[in-house]
């Protein structure tokens, strides 16, 4: 039923559009820079761009289930952007002026779109205002194209990666039988399959890094507080962050520039992180020689079990980093027993997050202008009353029930949080400081928990494709505020390797769109 509504809206919008003529513009894999050039030289309009992405969604979403809902006002916003540029002689009001953006369905918009985290329990709820990052996107001129499919409740309910009751099962556009990974699966799939110019995801632990790796896109997981979490359905204020998922490092950085900064509605975190935002923004760090002089650590234990193809490719990448001036330091240990460390992190993280989720979700629900549910207890009751829609037999909701049983942040939770801070301070943070590292490099999302527990940043870049064509990524992680140096390394690596290629299931509509 949800897809039928989506399909009907897309069809109406596509038929109703009056697109500008876009002679010679290459829509597939179009970067923000290329879009700007198209606007400037007259080969592209925002209206034509939005029509292209709506067409992609109409054709591909029945297979990939990356988009949960499209914005019925998207074409109106695009026409307004075109009119703005015409009346101002081509001047852009921001770096994303007229550029379509898909948002993960836990990022609130005060418009015709729903914000449900994929659950029917929140369908029809009304938020009081745009999320902080959406306010900044609109200020930059972006067109909000729609909402992308999350793992329901950002997978704290423990469903299949990329599945939600409203959106169905997102599929990897490179290999349909492979995981799309992480709760930001929809944004990752949509970015990979050219269903939007850029997309925005969220992460608590691995939810940007993992789908970016498995869908061959660039993901930036910012330092916690660098981007506002106001209006984002919460899990953990210690770990939640909002970040770009795009086809290139440059696009991701331009999107990051648009959304960072202080927000009075997320005052404590954004005020603390504002000191890390460089004067002049982050695009100044898109340097082809960004690997030169960087000290990069390779942690023991993370590359094991990755298979012969991946290990060979990763070793080639380490050689490339050295050839471009990086000092690569191998055989580093973050703990005597890495497996035991990760188990301890997981245990304490679970204790803390269950309590944080209940407290912060109930606060979010209470603030909604209207909502079918007002508490975690009511969500659990809703699921029990709708077992078929919510696939209770397949997934259950044990973790939601466990969260509901918590009684706030008590001595047990405080001890767990303190232990997480100790494990980070005496582990990864200590290692990076002692070895004077600019970054650690790990495969895919294997170090996500090390980075998550104290809000550390990371950038994932496409690294290669396995024997079955399944993408894998490489992750540059650092300490709080290390975004400039991570961007330098990620961009230089991307430009030196140029690994990314479009997925087969993202190009099905290519010929037919130009023939329409």
How many CB atoms within 10 Å of residue 350? 14
Residue 275 annotated in active site = no
d(CA 404, CA 406): 6
Strands (E), 187-294: 198-203, 218-221, 241-246
Which residues on neighbouring strands pair with residue 67, listed in sequence order?
Answer: 148
Round to whole Å and give the CA distance between 379 and 400.
9
Q: Which of 125, 151, 183, 448 is catalytic?
A: 183
What does 400-448 look like in DSSP terms, one character per residue? Answer: HHHHHT--SS-HHHHHHHHHHHHHHHTTHHHHHHHTT-SEEEEETTTTH
Asked if 234 and 361 count as a contact pair (C-beta separation under 8 A), the reply is yes
CB 495 within 8 A of CB 287: no
The count of residues in the chain is 516
Record the tokens describing residue 289, joined without a space.
Answer: 């020689």
Contacts of 430 (CB under 8 A, 6+ apart): none
Task: Give CA–CA dist 298/275, Å, rounded.
Answer: 28
- β-strand partners of 69: 147
* Cα 451 to Cα 352: distance, rounded to the nearest angstrom: 16
Annotated active-site residue in 22, 104, 125, 449: 104
Choosing from 22, 125, 184, 207, the catalytic residue is 207
For residues 284 and 273, what is the distance between their CA atoms, to the nearest angstrom?
Answer: 19
Query: CB under 8 Å to 77, separation ≥6 — which residues?
Result: 46, 50, 71, 143, 144
| Active centre residues (catalytic) | 104, 183, 207
């Amino acid at each position: 039923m949800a897809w039928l509504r989506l399909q009907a809206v897309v069809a109406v919008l596509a038929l109703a559009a009056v697109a500008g003529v876009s002679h010679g513009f290459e829509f597939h894999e179009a970067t923000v820079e290329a879009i700007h050039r198209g606007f400037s030289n007259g080969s592209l309009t925002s209206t034509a761009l939005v029509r292209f992405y709506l067409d992609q969604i109409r054709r591909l979403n029945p297979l990939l289930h990356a988009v949960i809902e499209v914005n019925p006002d998207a074409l109106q916003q695009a026409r307004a952007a075109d009119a703005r540029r015409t009346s101002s002689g081509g001047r852009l009001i921001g770096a994303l002026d007229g550029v379509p953006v898909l948002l993960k369905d836990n990022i609130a918009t005060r418009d015709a779109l729903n914000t449900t985290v994929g659950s029917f329990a929140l369908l029809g709820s009304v938020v009081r205002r745009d999320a902080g990052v959406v306010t900044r996107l609109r200020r930059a001129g972006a067109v909000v194209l729609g909402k992308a499919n999350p793992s329901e409740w950002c997978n704290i309910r423990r469903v299949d990666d990329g599945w939600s009751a409203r959106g169905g099962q997102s599929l990897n556009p490179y290999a349909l039988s492979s995981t799309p990974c992480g709760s930001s699966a929809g944004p990752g799939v949509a970015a990979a399959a050219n269903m939007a110019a850029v997309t925005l995801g969220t992460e608590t632990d691995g939810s940007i890094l993992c789908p970016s790796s498995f869908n061959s896109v660039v993901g930036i997981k910012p330092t916690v507080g660098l981007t506002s979490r106001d209006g984002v359905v919460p899990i953990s204020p210690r770990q939640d962050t909002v970040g770009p998922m795009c086809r290139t490092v440059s696009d991701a950085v331009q999107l990051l520039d648009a959304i960072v900064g202080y927000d009075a509605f997320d005052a404590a975190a954004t005020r603390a992180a504002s000191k890390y935002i460089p004067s002049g923004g982050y695009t100044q760090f898109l340097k082809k020689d960004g690997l030169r002089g960087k000290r990069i650590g390779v942690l023991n234990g993370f590359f094991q079990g990755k298979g012969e193809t991946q290990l060979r490719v990763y070793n080639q990448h380490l050689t490339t980093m050295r050839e471009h001036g990086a000092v690569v330091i191998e055989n580093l240990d973050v703990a005597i027993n890495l497996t035991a460390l990760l188990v301890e992190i997981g245990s304490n993280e679970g204790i803390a997050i269950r309590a944080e989720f209940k407290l912060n979700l109930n606060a979010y629900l209470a603030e909604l202008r209207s909502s079918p549910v007002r508490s975690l207890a009511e969500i659990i009751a809703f699921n029990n009353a709708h077992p078929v829609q919510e696939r209770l037999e397949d997934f259950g909701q044990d973790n939601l029930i466990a969260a509901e049983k918590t009684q706030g942040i008590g001595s047990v939770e405080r001890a767990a949080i303190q232990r997480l801070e100790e494990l980070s301070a005496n582990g990864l943070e200590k290692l990076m400081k002692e070895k004077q590292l600019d970054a650690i490099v790990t495969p895919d999302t294997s170090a996500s928990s090390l980075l998550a527990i104290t809000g550390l940043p990371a950038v994932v870049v496409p690294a290669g494709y396995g024997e079955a064509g399944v993408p894998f990524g490489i992750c540059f992680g650092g300490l709080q505020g290390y975004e400039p140096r991570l961007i330098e390394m990620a961009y230089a690596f991307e430009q030196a390797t140029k690994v990314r290629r479009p997925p087969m299931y993202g190009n099905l509509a290519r010929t037919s769109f130009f023939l329409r």
